[in-house]
Homo-oligomer: A and B are copies of this chain.
Amino acid sequence: MGTRERRQREVAEREQFFLQAARVLIREEGLLNLQMSRVAERCEYAVGTLYQHFTSKEDLVLALAAEGSVEHAALFDRVQRWQASSRDRMFAIGVCSSLFVRRNPDHFRISQYALCDVVWRAASASRREAFLEVSNPIGAMVTGIVEDGVREGALALRGLSPGEFTVGLWALCMGTHNLVHTEGILDQMRLNDPYRLLCRHINGLLNGYSWKPWVDPADDAALDALFDRICHEVFDDLRCAD
């Protein structure tokens, strides 16, 4: 009885197809102008078929965000597996997050929108669940690095749980991306490179918690060197050193 399975596979493929088309439409005309009928049309399906996959437009947007999270997690996974000190890997998480957001500017906008209360609630419960499912590893991997740091003796949490520590890093990254993407907010303070800045702040935070070895946050050369090393050793194929 392979018929049913083929069918399932076809349906799954079609879902990818819809999502891909939505992505293209968003790139071409912006998230603001995304229309369900256009997505269906571009895939040469009727809107009704589209609605068999996504219960609403918001549901589709959240599905896009989830796809992005999968990619995001995949990049974090490289960092996690990287053979380097816990502190360097923690730093690499920041680099990775910047890299990902920069290479995928739409993803940030999409997930920022999708995670707004309004949109989140308008998506289906199962879609929300699926989103959390694929997003959990992102936090978990960072927490894993924190735990490695503790195990190595490079970091003393002093009452903080690994998860709580993670939240600090995560907030710093997410907040930076948010500020960068909010048109106008940062314009008055002219930042040459917000992601470089994020790297510095991460070092600041890690230093503040005495994660060994200490790094001089003002040592631009060292920062660049580590950045380049990460690009080379972890993200070589992405040619990220632009």
A contact set with B: CB distance below 8 Å: 30-32, 109, 112-113, 115-118, 120-122, 128, 132, 135-136, 139-140, 143, 158-161, 163-164, 166-168, 170-176, 178-179, 181-186, 188-191, 194, 197-198, 200-201, 203-209, 217-218, 220
Chain B residues in 8 Å Cβ range of A207: 207-209
The distance in angstroms between the C-alpha atoms of A166 and B158, with both chains bound, is 26
Which residue of chain B is the closest to A132 with respect to CB atoms? Answer: B184
From A109, A158, A201, residue with most partner B Cβ within 10 Å: A201
The distance in angstroms between the C-alpha atoms of A175 and B113, with both chains bound, is 15
Evaluate contact between B117 and A159: CB separation under 8 angstroms. Answer: no
Q: How far is the CB of A94 from chain B (nearest CB, A)?
A: 11
Q: Give me 27 A-to-B residue pairs in the complex whose CB atoms sit less than 8 angstroms apart, sorted by A's number.
A: A30-B117, A32-B121, A109-B117, A109-B118, A112-B116, A116-B116, A135-B185, A136-B188, A139-B185, A139-B189, A140-B188, A158-B218, A159-B218, A160-B200, A160-B218, A163-B190, A164-B189, A167-B197, A168-B204, A170-B175, A171-B172, A171-B174, A172-B172, A174-B178, A204-B205, A207-B208, A207-B209
Chain B residues in 8 Å Cβ range of A113: 116-118
Main secondary structure of the interface of A (DSSP, over half): helix
Q: How far is the CB of A228 from chain B (nearest CB, A)?
A: 19
Evaluate contact between B158 and A217: CB separation under 8 angstroms. Answer: yes
Decide: A176 near B184, CB < 8 A? Known: A113-B117, A117-B31, A209-B217: no
4 smallest CB-CB distances across A and B, nearest first, come from: A175-B175, A208-B208, A163-B189, A171-B175
Evaluate contact between A163 and B185: CB separation under 8 angstroms. Answer: no
Evaluate contact between B201 and A186: CB separation under 8 angstroms. Answer: no
